[in-house]
Amino acid sequence: MDPARVAGAVDEVATVLRADGGDLILLDADPRTDRIHLSLVLEDVSCQDCVLAPDLLYDTIEQALHRHVDGEFELLVDDPRRPPA
């Protein structure tokens, strides 16, 4: 897993979220464990319901990553709309 390509994919999705005042932060992309950990930031979003629903957002992020990242990865997204696991 190439962390630079992960960052590129994350930025692709983050750009869309930023238009609504949100953001997507890459916390970690570890090639030793193939884990990608992201954090969704919604503090400055006026209408949280307008942001993609959690499941749909997760799928969108995952698809973007698959376009840029070869092989398998485990995706973890800290979404404030969901309680932590």
Residue range at the interface with another protein (CB under 8 A); choices 21-29, 31-39, 48-56, 60-68? 31-39
Strands of 1-81, DSSP E? 23-30, 35-41, 74-78
CB 40 within 8 A of CB 84: no
> Does the protein bind another protein through residue 32 (CB under 8 A)?
yes
3-state secondary structure of 72: coil
- Cβ 71 to another protein shortest distance, Å: 7
- Cβ 69 to another protein shortest distance, Å: 13
> Does the protein bind another protein through residue 15 (CB under 8 A)?
no
